[in-house]
Amino acid sequence: MSPILVLDDVSVKLPAGGDRSHAMEKVSLTLAANEILCVVGESGSGKSMTANAIMRLLPGGVTIDGGQILFEGRDLCGLGEAQMRKVRGAGIAMIFQEPMTALNPLRSIGDQIGEMFELHTELSAAEIKARTLALLEEVRIPDPALAFKAYPHELSGGQRQRAMIAMALALDPKVLIADEPTTALDVTTQAQILELIRDLQRRKGTAVLFITHDFGVVAEIADRVAVMSKGEVVEQGETQAVLGNPQHAYTRQLIAAVPPLKAPPARPLSDEPIMTIGHVSKTYRTGGFLGRGQRITHAVKDVSLVLPKGATLGIVGESGSGKSTLARCLVRLIDPESGEIRLNGIDLASLSREEMRAATRHIQMVFQDPFASLNPRRKAGEAVAQGLVVHGMARPQALARAKELFGLVGLDPAATERYPHEFSGGQRQRIGLARALALEPAVLVADEPVSALDVSVQAQVLKLLAELRQRLGLSIVFITHDLRVAAQVCDLVAVMKSGEVVEAGPIGTVYGEPQHPYTQALLASIPGREFGKGR
């Protein structure tokens, strides 16, 4: 079949002064009708830049400085802005990662999809409405007539992404570019959206360029795959061949870093509990006047769990399941309404704020976002030493201890003098870990500690965490949405949904024979389940 979109030695130049001169270097890709090509790579690999270059939507100062982008035989690089506008939407359409920001919050969904027809066709208003409704039906939005009138904030994340897909497919484009379309979605929603994209692509014969960082998604959806690293395509071929028998060292390294879904053999667990969580609840009330007409959200509802000494308890669930609220209750960033949190026999939930400040040294937290969790105006070493100083250590000793801790988490002890922005994401997460470990806590609460990291960095941080757990005898509460990650580090796992724990137990049992329908659905939704199971 003749290719519909050809990238021939395309190079994209970055503005001077960056860490590299080109975002893309001599990238050659071909995309034929009726196939899904996945472009996969880590952050900074140039995969999103590829999508933007094709659409000619490059940021200011970034230019295409070599090669051709042939769409149906026409070089897009040579087109004027007016001609390019005709290609966008009608010839090549695009869907984005975050549908909430890609949609205009002040206009209804129907209005925004209808705009595609207004701009590119001569249809009458009635015809546009009929076509829009048909599209919404096609992307299987529940109750299309209602969704037509809805505003973006009234739809769920998955529904918004469906609306975006409807918009992209409005004019039957030859090529659909999907830039991480499921990354912001929950795993069960992700499975539905992937199935929808695949199904629509089959029926309409669209060529899809699918950009992702997730090898599970690749295994699930791709016909062919291209692996990018530092702006270059290092390997491409049939999905089966690349995933099953990777040739390039980088591809092999990436695939090896994907955590397999199978839990490692169970470790013996201590009978002695270090922390018991008993009937913890947290409710949010919003709006209303004097107690009337309030909206009540049960963020955490009667949760009881036990963390044995030295064990790792995973808490998994989708967004809104209350897992992060629970984590924050444990360290009293949020005050639980009822229930007790016994750490070494002391009920943290009943301590006053002053007493809790002293008790923080026994329970510490690692945060999700390595960029937001460090004060940009404080040196890394000081950030680590801070807790020690607050709890009474003299400053010079604390700074010396910070250097030791840097060594412990695999950072250069000399780097304590540097500011957070001088570190990479993975290194910052190590600093966050050092800060939490500085107080030698009995329990470490880790809230999605690796979900903002690339897969290879993620593997390193998980390995470090496992080493430290062994060495320091840490007990960990590990919050994650990623069941693969949970399988790697957790001894026990609790599945949360709408604030409640629906199933809990040793990870091998829960993954092997899930009892609750929701756990079964979660496990069934993991993209590329088969891929990686054999390893």
Residues near another protein (CB under 8 A): 60-61, 328, 331, 333, 356-358, 360-361, 364-365, 367-369, 372-378, 386-387, 390-391, 432, 435-436, 439
Shortest CB 386 distance to another protein, Å: 6
Shortest CB 372 distance to another protein, Å: 4
Shortest CB 364 distance to another protein, Å: 6
Complex with another protein: residue 240 or 350, whichever CB lies closer: 350
Complex with another protein: residue 60 or 396, whichever CB lies closer: 60
Shortest CB 204 distance to another protein, Å: 40
Interaxial angle between packed helices 187-204 and 517-525, expressed in degrees from 0 to 180 and rounded to the nearest 10: 50
CA 43/CA 180 separation, integer angstroms = 12
Give CA separation, 432 vs 95, 406, 438, 481, in Å. Answer: 34, 10, 10, 20
* DSSP 8-state secondary structure symbol assigned to residue 292: B
Complex with another protein: residue 357 or 535, whichever CB lies closer: 357
Residue 180 tokens read as 């991480």
Listed residue (227, 266, 246) closest to 535, CA to CA: 246
Sign of CA dihedral 59, 65, 69, 74: positive
| Partners of 95 in the β-ladder | 178
Complex with another protein: residue 468 or 504, whichever CB lies closer: 468
Question: What is the distance in angstroms between the CA of the first residue and the CA of the last residue of the chain?
Answer: 35
CA 435/CA 516 separation, integer angstroms = 38
Complex with another protein: residue 331 or 474, whichever CB lies closer: 331
Complex with another protein: residue 227 or 398, whichever CB lies closer: 398
CA 309/CA 316 separation, integer angstroms = 20
Complex with another protein: residue 247 or 350, whichever CB lies closer: 350
Shortest CB 407 distance to another protein, Å: 21
Residue 479 tokens read as 């919050």
CA 469/CA 101 separation, integer angstroms = 40
Shortest CB 371 distance to another protein, Å: 9
Shortest CB 328 distance to another protein, Å: 8
Instruction: State whether residue 165 is helix, strand or coil.
Output: helix
